[in-house]
Amino acid sequence: MTERPMKRIGDSRMYLAEIVGQEGLHGQRMQAGAILDLMDVLAGRIAFSHSGSRVATLSFDRVDLIYPILHQDLIRLEGQLVRVGKSSMTIEVKGYRKDLAAREFMPVQRSFITMVAISEVGKSNPNIPGLLYETPEEERIREEVSRRQAIADRWRAMQEAVDASGPLRAADVVEELNRDKQEFLTPAETEIELRRQFLPRHLNALGTIFGGDLLLWMDQVATYTARHFTRNRNMVTLAMNRIFFKQPIFSRDLVNVKSRVVYVRRYTLEVEISVSLQRADGEIVPSHSGYFTVLNYDEAGFKRPIVTGLRLEDRDQEGLKAYRKAKERHRFWREGQEASSAD
């Protein structure tokens, strides 16, 4: 058996820097989709450089934007490989924005993106180099990635446990924070559904739709869904949680996206996004999913309480389970934040 070639983490390090947004909107908040798009580009470039193979996006873990991105901000993204599996590669991406007052780059986000190497026949390519860990810092990163993988496994198990649970009662699931609202919508009343066909200009080297374009669209839909729910235009994505890319999208596919509000807190809400494809032969297949946390704010830029809540009833078991899973995701995130602070 041929010994697997190895590459150093340092050899994978790259960065991108770009002024984002529009000059006419200088200083105004912009949607998270812009930085998600750049993150996908950088991760794909790093994965391609390491593997020497075509690559595709598999997933994003949670992306939290520590500070808002403004139009005409200078954004710098730095990335490196931190784990290589049989054909998969995990890339750590850190984002920074240039603070004009301090003339320094300030951290904006940190996330992990998983890419997969693709062979010439469209299958996963196992013939990619492994990864060397040579310094104490690199060993620390390897341990952190292993911990994150364990957390991801627990996260999936938690979501599956809710799906497998018996009938739920709204009185046992819904938080007091949701009950203390001025108006209420059922989950069905929050739904937004869109359909589009991407064009050849959106194709990547694999002949499929570029992941960054889809992320931009998903973020746009999530924000519109949040605005529709709150009747407030001043909303912006704070976090994106667990985006999964399950199927490639071709230019001949019709792409359907459904979104709905599944959880509401005092100033934020969570939008669930699910994407399905109608293939050329008429087959419908699920392709992408993810969750977006959106902040409600006022004209002055301050957080604004959300006055609309979800009307959940015992007979709406689908809505109750979606709410409970979202509540568990929030708890999961809070525990992770506390653990990070303790470290």
| Tens digits of residue pLDDT in 321-342 | 999 999 988 888 777 666 555 5
- Based on the fold, state whether residues 146 and 198 are members of the same structural domain: no
Alpha-carbon separation of residue 45 from 54, 125, 201, 215 (angstroms): 10, 16, 19, 17
65, 237 contact by CB (below 8 A):
yes
Give the model's confidence band at 2: pLDDT under 50 very low, under 70 low, under 90 confident, else very high: low
Alpha-carbon separation of residue 4 from 7, 56, 87, 130, 202 (angstroms): 10, 22, 12, 7, 35
| Tens digits of residue pLDDT in 288-323 | 999 999 999 998 889 999 999 999 999 999 999 999
Quick one: pLDDT at residue 119?
Answer: 84
Strands (E), 61-166: 63-64, 74-84, 88-99, 104-118, 130-132
Computed over its alpha carbons, how large is the radius of gyration of the chain?
21
Q: Whole-number mean pLDDT of the chain?
A: 90
Quick one: pLDDT at residue 331?
Answer: 85
Q: Which residue has the higher pLDDT, 120 or 12?
A: 12
| Tens digits of residue pLDDT in 11-49 | 999 999 999 988 988 888 888 877 888 999 999 999 999
- Based on the fold, state whether residues 192 and 236 are members of the same structural domain: yes
Q: Give the residue carrying structure tokens 């985006």.
A: 243
Give the model's confidence band at 212: pLDDT under 50 very low, under 70 low, under 90 confident, else very high: confident
- Based on the fold, state whether residues 121 and 212 are members of the same structural domain: no
Quick check: is 203 in a domain? yes
Dihedral in degrees, nearest 10, Cα atoms 47, 76, 25, 239: 60
Q: Are strands 183-185 and 308-310 parallel, antiparallel or unpaired?
A: parallel
Quick one: pLDDT at residue 175?
Answer: 94
Quick one: pLDDT at residue 339?
Answer: 52
Give the model's confidence band at 184: pLDDT under 50 very low, under 70 low, under 90 confident, else very high: very high
Residue 272: is its pLDDT beyond 60? yes
- Based on the fold, state whether residues 278 and 306 are members of the same structural domain: yes
Quick check: is 196 in a domain? yes
Quick check: is 121 in a domain? yes
Quick check: is 328 in a domain? yes
Boundaries of domain holding 257: 168-342
Q: Are strands 63-64 and 235-245 parallel, antiparallel or unpaired?
A: antiparallel
Quick one: pLDDT at residue 334?
Answer: 78
Instruction: Spell out the residues 6+ positions from residue 329 whose beta carbon is closer than 8 angstroms to its own.
Output: 155, 159, 241, 263, 270, 291
249-258 CB burial, b ≥16 within 10 A, e <16: bbeebbbbbb
- Based on the fold, state whether residues 199 and 118 are members of the same structural domain: no
Residue 191: is its pLDDT beyond 80? yes
Task: Indicate the pTM of the whole model.
Answer: 0.88
Give the model's confidence band at 88: pLDDT under 50 very low, under 70 low, under 90 confident, else very high: very high
